[in-house]
Amino acid sequence: MEVSIPFSKPRNSSTTPFPPPLLLFLSLLLTVISISEASYSPCASHSGPVKPTTPLLNFLERVQETALRTFGKPKFDPKLYVDLSLKRNLSDSELGFDKLVRSSNGSVSVKDLSKYIENYFEGAGDDLVYAKPEDFVPQPKGFLPKVKNQEVRNWALKVHSLWKNLSRKVSAEVRKRPELHTLIPLPDPVIIPGSRFREVYYWDSYWVIRGLLASKMYDTAKAIVTNLISLIEEYGHVLNGARTYYTNRSQPPLLSAMVHEIYKKTGDLEFAKECLPALIKEHKFWTSGIHKVTIQDAQARNHTLTRYYATWDKPRPESSTLDKEFASNISSVAERKHFYREVASTAESGWDFSTRWMRNPANFTTLATTSVLPVDLNAFILGIELDISFLSKVTGDYAVSKHFLKTSQARKKAIEFVFWNAQTGQWHDYWLSNSHCKRVQTWKTSNQNQKAFASNFIPLWIKSFYSDALLVDKVTKSLRKSGLVHPAGIATSLTNSGQQWDFPNGWAPIQHMIIEGLARSGSKEARSVAEDIAVRWIRTNYVTFKKTGTMHEKYDVEKCGYFGGGGEYVPQTGFGWSNGVVLALLEEFGWPEDLSIAC
C-alpha cells in the first residue's frame, strides 16, 4: 500500500524532494533542488538573542530532568513536571531542591525526590478546579432530533454528560500568586481535552464548541471564545494552550470559525461585534512577519501564503527531556537551535508529529515544518477572511467586510495556484526551496508534496471551494482513490511511521472537516460519501467506548473498535474534540431506528 520513497539524502547532495506518483511523465518536470547548509540557519528577523524562559519554567525543567534520571523512562511524562505549581516561593523551592543529595549522574533517591515533590509542590492540575457548567442539563431540549435509535441516543447523552467531567475554572490561588503557576489565569470556565491535557487548547476548542452547540450549551461555548480572545489581547495571538510554556507558538487558527458557528446558532450580534477586533488582530499575526511567504508565478505575479513558524529555539518545556534526547546527535549549536524551532513549529501545526513535515520520513531530526506552505493552514486563513467579511457585514461594518472579501479572493487564487493539482485532484503542501528564509520564491511543480495526506482535502471544508460542483466531484473521486479511506475512517497519511499524525491513526477533527465539506457541497454523491465515512467514524467511537468506557483522543482506522497509538505519550482519554465531533455528526446525519451501531 505504501508508495512513498524516502526523499532525503545526505546534506549537500542534490536530491529531488518528492517522488512523482507512479506517473512517469511527471518525473520529467522535476527540477533538482539542493538542500543546502543555508536551510539550517534561522531566518534573519529571528536570529537575534532569545530571551531566557521564565525562572519558574527553568526550575521546573530542572526538576523534570532530575525526575527522569531518578524515576527512569517507563511511564515518564515530562509534561507533568512543568504543570506542577509551587507551595512556597521560587527561591525557597530552589533552595530545597539544591539540598537534595545527588549521585554522579544527577539522580536523587526515589524516596528523597518523592518527598521533596510532595512537600514543595501542589499536584499537576490542582490549580484548575472542577466547575459545573451552569448551562448543562442532562436532557437538553431539542437534543439531536434526528437520532431515532435508542441505543445511540443513550450513548450520545452519555457523551453529552462528559462536558461536566471536562469543565474547569482557574483557581483563585493562580490569580493571587501567578508567579507560582505555569497555568495562565483565564477569566471564564473552560472545557479541557482531558487526561494529560489539563488546560484549554486552541484548535481543540473548535470541535469542543461544535459539540457544546449540539448540547445547547451556548454560554459555555461563548466563555471559551472569551478566554481565547483574552490571550490575543495579552500575547497578540491565541496560544497553543493556556500555559506560560506555550506563549511562543499558536495552533491551527480556528477562532473565527468558532465565532461564526456560535453566531449561526445564537444569532447573537453583540457577541459577534465584540469578537471582531480580536479576529482582525489575529489575522494580522498570521499574514505578516515571519509567517508570510510570497510565491511568484511565471508572470512575476505574487501569491501570498502563510506557514507555521514558532518563535522558539529551545526544547519545548513540556517535552524538554525528549527534545534534548533527539537533539543529542546534532553537534552544531546552530543546527540544534534550528531543530528545536522545527519541533516547536510542528507543534504549532497541530500535527505533532508526522512524516508530513520530515525531509526523510525515517529520520525525525529532518523535521522541516518552517519550509512547508501547508494546505490546511492556508485554507483556515481563507476561512478567517471569509468569516471576518461575513461577521462585519452582519454587524454593519461594510468597509471592513469588503476589504476582507477582497483579501479572501487573493488567498483563494494563491491556494489554487500554489497548491492545486488538476492531475491528482488534490491540494498539495508546497515545499520552499533552498533557503526557506527567502520570502519570495518562484513556483515549481516539483515542490508540491504529492504524497497522500488527509490535509490535502481540507480546502473542501471552506465554502468558496465546496460550492464549486465540478471541483467537488473531482476531489471526491480523488479521496476515494487516495488509499486514505479505511473501514473505521480517514487515515492521516499512508506512512506507518510510529508518529501519531500518520497511518493508521484517524483524528476526529480531520474526519469532521472532510465530512462536513462533502456534506455541504450540494452534491448528492459527495454527501453520500460523507455520510458513509461519518457512520464508520461514529461506530468506531461507540464500540471503543463500550469496550473501554471512555472516549479517546484518536482511533485506529484499519479496524472498527480500536483506539490509536504511536507518538510521544500514552494514548489519552476524555476527550474534548472526539466528543464534539460525535455530537456534531449525529446532529448533521442523525441515526435511523433500524441502523445497527455495531461494527
Ligand X SMILES: *[C@@H]1O[C@H](CO)[C@@H](O)[C@H](O)[C@H]1NC(C)=O
Question: What is the binding site for ligand X (CB under 6 A)?
Answer: 11, 50-51, 53, 69, 88-89, 91-92, 103, 105, 107, 165, 248, 294, 300-302, 311-314, 325-326, 328-329, 363, 365-366, 440, 550
Q: Which is nearer to ligand X, 339 or 501 (CB)?
A: 339
Catalytic position from the list 553, 556, 587, 588: 553
* Residue carrying C-alpha cell 493556556: 242
Phi then psi dihedrals of residue 571, to 5 deg: -55, 140
Under 8 Å CB-to-CB from 339, ≥6 apart: which residues? 326, 327, 330, 365, 367
What 8-state DSSP symbol labels residue 88? S
The distance of closest approach from Cβ of residue 311 to ligand X in the complex, given in angstroms and rounded to an integer, is: 5
Phi then psi dihedrals of residue 564, to 5 deg: -90, 175
Q: Which is nearer to ligand X, 53 or 227 (CB)?
A: 53
The distance of closest approach from Cβ of residue 441 to ligand X in the complex, given in angstroms and rounded to an integer, is: 11
Q: Is 184 helix (H, G, I), strand (E, B) or coil?
A: coil
Q: Which is nearer to ligand X, 57 or 484 (CB)?
A: 57
Task: Evaluate whether 280 touches 388 at the Cβ level (below 8 Å).
Answer: yes
The distance of closest approach from Cβ of residue 104 to ligand X in the complex, given in angstroms and rounded to an integer, is: 7
Consecutive H or E run containing 487? none
Residue 551: count of CB within 10 angstroms of its CB: 28
Q: Which is nearer to ligand X, 113 or 388 (CB)?
A: 113
The distance of closest approach from Cβ of residue 212 to ligand X in the complex, given in angstroms and rounded to an integer, is: 17
179 is an active site residue: no
Largest CA distance in the chain: 70
The distance of closest approach from Cβ of residue 593 to ligand X in the complex, given in angstroms and rounded to an integer, is: 27
Whole-number Å distance between alpha carbons of 44 and 424: 36
Strand-pairing partners, residue 552, are 573
Nearest 5°: the CA angle 159, 161, 166 is: 90
Q: Which is nearer to ligand X, 432 or 529 (CB)?
A: 432
Catalytic position from the list 261, 352, 376, 429: 352
The distance of closest approach from Cβ of residue 329 to ligand X in the complex, given in angstroms and rounded to an integer, is: 4
Residue 555: count of CB within 10 angstroms of its CB: 27
553 is an active site residue: yes
Q: One-letter amino acid identity for 343?
A: V
The distance of closest approach from Cβ of residue 274 to ligand X in the complex, given in angstroms and rounded to an integer, is: 26
Q: Is 380 helix (H, G, I), strand (E, B) or coil?
A: helix
Q: Which is nearer to ligand X, 266 or 311 (CB)?
A: 311
Task: Evaluate whether 7 touches 421 at the Cβ level (below 8 Å).
Answer: no
CA distance between the termini of the chain: 24
Give the residue among 301, 311, 298, 303 at the shortest CA–CA distance from 287. Answer: 303
Q: Which is nearer to ligand X, 23 or 362 (CB)?
A: 362
Q: Rg of the chain's alpha carbons, rounded to an integer?
A: 24
Report the catalytic residues.
352, 553
